[in-house]
Copies of this chain bind each other. A is one copy, B any other.
Amino acid sequence: MAGGGGDLVSNKQVIFRDYVTGFPKESDMQLTSGGTIKLKVPEGSNNAILVKNLYLSCDPYMRILMKKGDDLITSYTPGSPVTGLGVGRVLDSRHPYFKEGDLVWGTTGWEEYSLITAPQGFFKIQNTDVPLSYYTGILGMPGLTAYAGFYEICAPKRRICFHFSSIRCSWSACWPIRKVVGLLCCWKCRKSRKVDLLKNKFGFDEAFNYKEEPDLNAALKRYFPDGIDIYFENVGGKMLDAVLLNMRVHGRIAACGMVSQYNLEKPEDVCNLMSIVYKRVSIKGFVVFDYYHLYSKFLEVVLPYIREGKITYVEDIVEGLENASAALVGLFSGQNVGKQVVVVARD
């Protein structure tokens, strides 16, 4: 029930302190007591919902929002809470679709409770027979990104050589992808531990750490002697440059991120772009928000795989908002093994 009343409670927050250059540090964020919040949507805030945050997602794109924005990027506001994807419970709603008690996922604040004034990008969680935290990863934005990028953009029609570059291990969890994956390049991973995980637990044919390869072109030639049909681009820079040299004719690249570039002041140079012409390569940039309309269809595909145990999914869960900034910063030095999740509360 919306409107007046509502308990006044304390609301811890992780505050973004100031624009970041280079690698982010824990001190770029600050845990504060955050004052108090009334657990009701204020009168006049039509369409708003008040959410108790349960699970927060650490994602590489968040680094982009930490630098000073431009006409393309609306960066975090210094002095305000970090925002990111999360799973929560609706405590109060003035939105016709969302009701008190609903479980939801969408972009929320790094705090205990968030007032979401415009929950357009929020989804109601209908299936709760799987862990709720999965909606930060395999059943949330990263999973849908993998699905849209692979099925809508790469659109494989035959057996292919697939090069999957990501630091988001959850992506590898989409079983139909894994079957054609030849290689995963993980970003600054924990040495051989992650490579082993990818090969032995996720079943990739091959895996390597691109940070440890002195010659990426040679590495790709070794792993893909016949070239790469599809490259799922999350790395960029020198990796992309080497990939361009190793694409097959009519190869396709789906690009939704270039994480190796996020902490650089100046992006790395890429010089092998003539390969796009020689090899008739298609590159398509995409952002997952353009594919949110596919979310139901995506769930129909992926939920059965999870229920049947056909998907290997690994989470790296830390407890408490007080550990959130360290978890996020850890992404960029490869500290996490699996999808990095922060538990704010379990119910």
| Alpha-carbon distance between A270 and B282 when the two chains are bound, in angstroms | 17
- The 0/1 profile, CB within 8 Å of B marked 1, for residues 219-246 of chain A is 0000000000000000010001000000
A-B contact pairs, 30 of them (CB 8 A): A72-B275, A72-B278, A72-B279, A236-B273, A255-B276, A256-B277, A257-B277, A258-B273, A258-B277, A266-B271, A267-B271, A267-B272, A267-B274, A268-B271, A269-B269, A269-B270, A270-B271, A275-B285, A276-B283, A276-B285, A277-B285, A278-B285, A279-B285, A280-B286, A280-B287, A281-B284, A282-B283, A282-B285, A283-B283, A283-B284
- The 0/1 profile, CB within 8 Å of B marked 1, for residues 282-305 of chain A is 111111001000000000000000
Tell me if A118 counts as interface (CB < 8 A to partner B): no
Output the least CB separation between A277 and chain B (Å). Answer: 4
Residues of B contacting A282 in the complex (Cβ-Cβ under 8 angstroms): 282-285
Closest 5 CB pairs of A and B: A269-B269, A276-B285, A277-B285, A283-B283, A267-B271
Tell me if A345 counts as interface (CB < 8 A to partner B): no
Tell me if A218 counts as interface (CB < 8 A to partner B): no
Residues of B contacting A274 in the complex (Cβ-Cβ under 8 angstroms): 236, 258, 261, 267
CB-based contact A240/B285 at 8 Å: no
Residues of B contacting A281 in the complex (Cβ-Cβ under 8 angstroms): 283-285
Write the chain B residue with the least CB distance to A237: B273
Tell me if A73 counts as interface (CB < 8 A to partner B): yes
Output the least CB separation between A250 and chain B (Å). Answer: 9
Output the least CB separation between A3 and chain B (Å). Answer: 39
Chain A residues packing against B (C-beta within 8 Å): 72-73, 236, 240, 255-258, 261, 266-287, 290
Residues of B contacting A273 in the complex (Cβ-Cβ under 8 angstroms): 236, 240, 255, 258, 267, 270
Output the least CB separation between A216 and chain B (Å). Answer: 16
| Alpha-carbon distance between A267 and B273 when the two chains are bound, in angstroms | 9
User: Told that A236-B274, A255-B273, A269-B269 touch, could you supply 15 new A-B pairs with CB distance under 8 A?
Assistant: A72-B278, A236-B273, A255-B277, A256-B277, A257-B277, A258-B273, A268-B271, A270-B270, A270-B271, A275-B285, A277-B286, A278-B285, A280-B286, A281-B284, A281-B285
Residues of B contacting A286 in the complex (Cβ-Cβ under 8 angstroms): 277, 280
Output the least CB separation between A55 and chain B (Å). Answer: 26
Output the least CB separation between A291 and chain B (Å). Answer: 11
Output the least CB separation between A34 and chain B (Å). Answer: 32
Output the least CB separation between A73 and chain B (Å). Answer: 7
| Alpha-carbon distance between A285 and B275 when the two chains are bound, in angstroms | 8
CB-based contact A277/B270 at 8 Å: no
Residues of B contacting A283 in the complex (Cβ-Cβ under 8 angstroms): 276, 281-284
Residues of B contacting A257 in the complex (Cβ-Cβ under 8 angstroms): 277
| Alpha-carbon distance between A236 and B244 when the two chains are bound, in angstroms | 15
Write the chain B residue with the least CB distance to A61: B277
